[in-house]
């Protein structure tokens, strides 16, 4: 079932409120023809032609005569052509017909599926109001504070016997302030265990812990088993967010202090800000502040003097959004030139 085709939507990148990106510049040495290999990602392929993956939609040309032209499969050929002096990519579908066997191929994904599946298959950010509506672990009949594999736990909600539920713990709080001064917050969820419902009555359910990553505690939450890969869209295209959108990294989803390549991060922008899956942000450390007068300049540090100069921002990497919520978004760091910390700026790649 994981081979089921998910439609990749590339249209609509230049609608109202979107900045028109510059014409793409093909990198030196770009191949005239590239044959897609198993294990390739859209990010990998774009790097063969572009230094900026977010320009992919302007380089890619759909072919109307091909079914689902925005899905790219192993064996397909991507041709670099020139139209009115501008570079374009065109797809030539590889068709392998066999009267004996029909094989449904899987399209390539945006990033490595291992970087996306954990965060797309199950909500990893939830508002406090949402958490309040979820089933909670009330404890064990043996009054254990910490429950482990094969223990019987009880939940405060009647559940369907035989169903599998995953146990999570609200682990990290992320906050942002809105333009009107209001604040919004979400909680990051840490997976603890998996459990199967063995019995239920009108008020509660008993579950047996089947997979154990850490001790289950009272008040941990329960979520249904995640969606399978076949139900997920792993094929969104890299693109530029609105030019007037800027935010910052509010934290590592796992709570790590320092963030590096392939780490999951939360930014203080969501779909209400116009952010969606596939949007690429450049990451910058704020430039140093300088205080003092000529001849006695010093870095601001903990000084309370009025800042004299704000030096230019320092680029530290790049990230792509894989899931947008109302006021926040989850992303994966695709490149980090140095470890960085929460507070790092997330800006559109064409912000300058």
**Mean pLDDT over each residue of the chain, to the nearest integer:** 83
Does position 290 have pLDDT exceeding 50, yes or no? yes
Same domain membership, residue 109 and residue 196: no
**Same structural domain for residues 207 and 134?**
yes
Element (DSSP H or E) covering residue 56: helix 56-59
What pLDDT is recorded for position 10?
32
Concatenating the DSSP letter of every residue in 79-130 gives EEEEETTEEEEEEE------SS----PPPPBSS-HHHHHHHHSS--EE-HHH
Dihedral sign, Cα of residue 192, residue 196, residue 199, residue 200: positive
In this structure, the strands spanning 314-324 and 298-299 are unpaired
pLDDT digits (tens, 9 = 90+) for 100-117: 444 556 777 777 777 776
Q: What is the pLDDT of residue 20?
A: 52
Give a yes or no: residue 332 inside a domain. Answer: yes
Same domain, 2 and 110: yes
Looking at residue 11, its pLDDT comes to 34
Taking Cα atoms as reference points, which of 125, 102, 141 lies closest to residue 323? 125
Same domain, 9 and 116: yes
Mean pLDDT within 59-85? 75
Q: What is the extent of the structural domain holding 303?
A: 247-347
110-133 b/e (C-beta count within 10 Å ≥ 16 → b): bbebebbbebbebbbbbeeeeeee
Residue 230 C-alpha from the chain's centroid: 18
Q: Is residue 32 part of a domain?
A: yes
Which of 294, 269, 290, 289 lies closest to 279, judged by CA? 269
Pick from 100, 121, 142: which residue ends a domain? 121
CA distances from 14 to 19, 88, 151, 322, 336 (A): 7, 17, 54, 19, 28
Give the integer Cα–Cα distance in Å for 349 and 58. 15
CA atoms within 13 A on the CB side of 329: 29
Backbone angles phi, psi at 189, to 5 degrees: -105, 135
Report the distance separating Cα 168 and Cα 189, nearest Å. Answer: 6
79-103 pLDDT tens trace:
888 888 888 888 887 766 554 444 5
Banded model confidence at residue 120, pLDDT cuts 50, 70, 90:
confident
pLDDT at 59 over 80: no
Tokens standing for residue 76? 């397909």
Could you tell me if 153 and 254 lie in one domain? Answer: no
pLDDT-derived band at 7 (thresholds 50, 70, 90) equals very low
Kindly state whether residues 154 and 106 are assigned to the same domain: no
What mean pLDDT do residues 23-32 have? 84
pTM of the predicted model as reported, rounded to 2 decimal places: 0.76
* CATH classification of the domain holding 287: 2.40.10
Give yes or no for residue 341 having a pLDDT over 70.
yes
pLDDT at residue number 315: 94
Q: Tell me if 183 is assigned to some domain.
A: yes
Burial grade of 16 (CB within 10 A; 0-12, 13-18, 19 or more): exposed
Last residue of a domain, one of 121, 139, 161: 121
Q: Are residues 173 and 264 located together in one domain of the fold?
A: no
- pLDDT-derived band at 4, boundaries 50, 70, 90: very low
CA distance 238 to 110: 8
Q: Which residue in 52, 63, 2 sits closest to 238, CA to CA?
A: 52
The pLDDT value given to residue 216: 95
Strands 125-126 and 152-155: unpaired
How many domains does the chain divide into?
3
**Domain boundary residue, one of 195, 226, 257:** 226
Can you tell me the distance from the alpha carbon of 9 to that of 221, in angstroms, rounded to the nearest whole number? 34
Percent of the chain exceeding pLDDT 70 equals 82
pLDDT band at 317 (very low <50, low <70, confident <90, very high): very high
Tell me, yes or no, whether 222 and 276 share the same domain.
Answer: no
What pLDDT, on the 0 to 100 scale, is given for residue 3? 32
Residues 202, 204, 207, 212, CA torsion sign:
positive
Q: How confident is the model at residue 154 (pLDDT cuts 50, 70, 90)?
A: very high
Between CA 303 and CA 299 the distance in angstroms is 8
> Does residue 146 carry a pLDDT above 70?
yes
Q: What's the pLDDT at 5?
A: 32
The verdict on 114 and 169 lying in the same domain is no
Are residues 195 and 265 part of one domain?
no
Q: What is the pLDDT of residues 238-283, one digit of tens each?
A: 889 999 999 999 999 988 999 999 999 999 999 999 999 999 999 9
């Amino acid at each position: 079932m994981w081979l089921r085709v998910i439609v990749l939507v590339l249209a609509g990148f230049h609608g109202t409120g979107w900045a028109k990106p510059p014409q793409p510049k093909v990198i030196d040495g770009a191949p005239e023809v590239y044959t897609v290999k198993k294990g390739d990602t859209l990010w990998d392929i774009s790097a063969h032609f572009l230094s900026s993956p977010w320009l992919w939609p302007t380089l890619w040309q759909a072919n109307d005569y091909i079914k689902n032209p925005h899905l790219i499969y192993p064996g397909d050929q991507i041709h670099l052509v020139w139209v009115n002096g501008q570079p374009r990519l065109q797809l030539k579908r590889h068709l392998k017909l066999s009267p004996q066997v029909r094989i449904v191929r899987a399209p390539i994904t945006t990033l490595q599926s291992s970087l996306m599946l954990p965060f797309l298959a199950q909500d990893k950010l939830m508002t406090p109001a949402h958490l309040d509506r979820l089933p909670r672990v009330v404890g064990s009949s043996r009054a254990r504070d910490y429950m482990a594999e094969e223990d019987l736990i009880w939940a405060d909600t009647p559940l369907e016997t035989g169903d599998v539920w995953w146990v999570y713990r609200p682990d990290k709080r992320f906050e942002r302030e809105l333009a009107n001064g209001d604040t919004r917050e979400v909680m990051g969820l840490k997976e603890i265990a998996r459990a199967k419902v063995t019995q239920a009555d009108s008020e509660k359910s008993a579950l047996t812990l089947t997979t154990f990553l850490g001790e289950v505690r009272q008040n941990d939450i329960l979520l249904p088993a995640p969606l399978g890969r076949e139900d997920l869209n792993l094929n969104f295209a890299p693109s530029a967010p609105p030019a007037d959108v800027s935010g910052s990294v509010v934290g590592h989803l796992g709570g790590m202090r320092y963030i590096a390549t392939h780490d999951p991060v939360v930014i203080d922008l969501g779909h209400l800000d116009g952010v969606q899956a596939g949007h690429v942000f450049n990451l910058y450390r704020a430039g140093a502040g300088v205080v003092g007068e000529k001849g006695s300049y010093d870095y601001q540090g903990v000084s309370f003097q009025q800042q004299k100069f704000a030096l230019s921002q320092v680029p530290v990497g790049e990230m792509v959004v894989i899931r947008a919520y109302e006021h926040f978004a989850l992303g994966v760091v695709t490149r980090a030139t140095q470890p960085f910390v929460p507070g790092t700026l997330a800006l559109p790649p064409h912000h300058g």
